Amino acid sequence: MSDNNLNQEQIAAAAAHLEQAELEAYEVTKLTDDYPEMTYKDAFDIQWEIRRRKEARGNKIVGLKMGLTSWAKMAQMGVEHPCYGFLADYFAVSDGGEIKTDELIHPKIEAEIAFVTKKALKGPGVTIADALAATDFVLPAVEVIDSRYKDFKFDLKSVIADNSSSTRFITGGQMQRVENVDLKNFGVVMEINGEVIATGAGAAVLGHPAASVAMLANMFGERGEEIPAGTFIMTGGITAAVQCQKGDNFSVRYQGLGTVTGRFV
Amino acid sequence: MNEADIKQAGDELYNALVNRTTLRPLTERYPDITIKDAYHVSLRMNERRIEAGERIIGKKIGVTSKAVQNMLNVHQPDFGFLTDKMAYSQGQEMPISELMIQPKAEGEIAFVLKNDLLGPGITNADVLAATDFVIPCFEIVDSRIENWQIKIEDTVADNASCGLFVLGDTAVSPLDVDLTSCGMVVEKNGAIISTGAGAAALGSPVNCVTWLANTLGEFGIPLKAGEVILSGSLVPLEPVKAGDFMSVSIGGIGSASVRFV
């Protein structure tokens, strides 16, 4: 991983700036406009500083997520790697629950599959097989993403610093052991206000969602961090991200894994 | 269109199929063509195929997914007839460079029926009750119309742009799979190029077969026991050429693959 070009004060200031935008739901210009010299290491340091700020305030970190996990999206952005983010306790919304639209800027939803680990994973060198062996169970999830950047436009460094656009998530449906689900081929159907808006299958996530867990472990390994046993991990969008407005309701059906629903109020 | 026009257009489409040439859109030559006219043109084209020794073994519904509807700018489904000459087996080479003009591949779910279905009034429950099994399928569509410039009447006349198809080698009862949420993964030359799920075709592949039974019912045509019914693509169309290899896998059903030469 690259070195830092920003100093500690700059990293702390950038983290405060982005977290403020998240907490008060307003847009900012992308961070690389303010700090053109920032490196990937700087970007991750800013994200980890936002995480530290939340924990210092008493929030609990309840999981991790991967973003930009489709080959198409990566090619479009000219990057070779997806990105990751963390999930704070107040991001969780219950199945069938309400998402308060006014707390967000321009939310979009994605259908995902989430893994819960039973063993620690530490990169480098974590494979799909290691990820599957370390998985306790999988369950369906809907992620609400909300870039703090104007018009959802950003580059990879800016989005990493912005906690990979994380904001809310809903889990539900049915948990399953990995051996009982065909994770490459299981299908997903997203309906918004009763209309089928998007469909996809597990392979949309890096060819296999467990590859996303392995890649997360390897990216954590680059910072010397491990993913502890019991971690909830959302592996990335199976469908395209779909913009939602106040008043929209959604229902996502997962082959063999039930449904997840919610409403934007 | 009068009877002579219909015969003429059907013959021209048949000749285009056999000689691998294309025609200008019929909707350009016959601006007042109706879907019924187009259907009669397709009957003439199919009559020529049967005269040449082909046998009808099933039917297809096309233009069922939003992705395909948007790509072709055709906003309703179409239908056509399948003949024995179109069918290829899993793993068999498909000679598209000899037989096709501007081929595109679609991943689909095929239904094989055990009872006849004659619309109108066919429901999804009737379709499920009449289905023996479902099977993964690649349909390779082709258009006898220049550059795929088709309106709905053009594609109905051209036998729903039907080309060739491959069925996979695993068959599953509709009792054992959720046809709405089953996922589809399409790979071309080893790379995953698209994913989708059953709901991509009119909300469910079962809806598609029901639509087909009721639409053909208006012409007095049944879906017959033993026939193969292709229920429509769940993913965007993919242009293919000789040398390409494609495979499709469907969650809970199985896979099909095809090598193009």
Give the CATH number, domain containing residue A144: 3.90.850.10
DSSP string, chain A: ----SS-HHHHHHHHHHHHHHHHHT--B--HHHH-TT--HHHHHHHHHHHHHHHHHTTPPEEEEEEES-SHHHHHHHT-SS-EEEEEEGGGEE-TTEEE-GGGSSS-EEEEEEEEEESS-B--SS--HHHHHHTEEEEEEEEEEE--SBGGG---HHHHHHTGGGEEEEEE-S--B-GGGS-TTT-EEEEEETTEEEEEEEGGGTTTSHHHHHHHHHHHHHHTT--B-TT-EEE---SSPPEE--TT-EEEEEETTTEEEEEEE-
pLDDT average, residue stretch B131-149: 96
Judge: A187–B249 Cβ closer than 8 Å, yes or no: no
Domain span at residue A255 reads: 61-264
Q: Does residue B189 carry a pLDDT above 90?
A: yes
DSSP character at residue B71: H
Kindly determine whether residue A199 and residue B249, on different chains, have CB atoms separated by under 8 Å: no
Residue B122: domain span = 3-260
The lowest-confidence range among A120-134, B14-28, B59-73, B157-171 is B59-73
Q: What is the pLDDT of residue A1?
A: 55
Residues of B in contact with A255 (CB under 8 A): 178, 181-183, 197, 251-252
Contacts of B234 in chain A (CB under 8 A): 199
- Taking an 8 Å cut-off on Cβ atoms, the answer to whether A253 and B181 are in contact is yes
A207:B182 CB<8 A: no
The answer to the question of residue A23 being in a domain is no
> For position A77, what pLDDT does the model report?
66
Q: What pLDDT band is residue B162 in, cutting at 50, 70 and 90? A: very high
Mean pLDDT of B51-76: 88
Could you tell me the pLDDT band of residue B69, with boundaries at 50, 70 and 90? confident
Is the pLDDT at B72 greater than 80? The verdict is: no
pLDDT at A76: 66
Q: Give the count of domains, chain A.
A: 1
Number of structural domains chain B divides into: 1
Asked if residue A110 is part of any domain, the answer here is yes
- Say how far apart CA A180 and CA A184 lie, in whole Å: 12
pLDDT value of position A190: 97
Determine the angle formed by the axes of helices B35-51 and B3-19, rounding to 10 degrees: 50
Instruction: Enumerate residue ranges in chain A where pLDDT < 50.
Output: none
Number of A/B CB contacts below 8 angstroms equals 81
pLDDT of residue B169: 85
Q: Would you call A200 and B196 a contact, using CB atoms and an 8 Å cutoff?
A: yes
Asked whether the beta carbons of residue A199 and residue B200 sit closer than 8 angstroms, the reply is: yes
Q: B61: part of which helix (H) or strand (E)?
A: strand B56-62
Q: Helix, strand, coil proportions of chain B in percent (round to 5)?
A: 35, 30, 35
The predicted-structure confidence for B4-46, as pLDDT tens digits, reads as follows 999 999 999 999 999 999 999 999 999 999 989 999 999 999 9
Q: At B20, which CATH number?
A: 3.90.850.10
Average pLDDT, chain B: 95
- Kindly list the distances between the CA atom of residue A201 and the CA atoms of A239, A253, B60, B77, B174, in Å, as whole numbers in the listed order: 8, 11, 24, 24, 19
Query: Would residue A116 count as lying in a domain?
Result: yes
**Is A140 within 8 Å of chain B by CB?**
no
Confidence of residue B68 (pLDDT cuts 50, 70, 90): confident
Which B residues in the span 202-241 are in contact with A, Cβ-Cβ below 8 Å?
A: 203, 234
A6-26 pLDDT per residue, tens: 999 999 999 999 999 999 999
Q: What is the mean pLDDT of residues B131-142?
A: 97
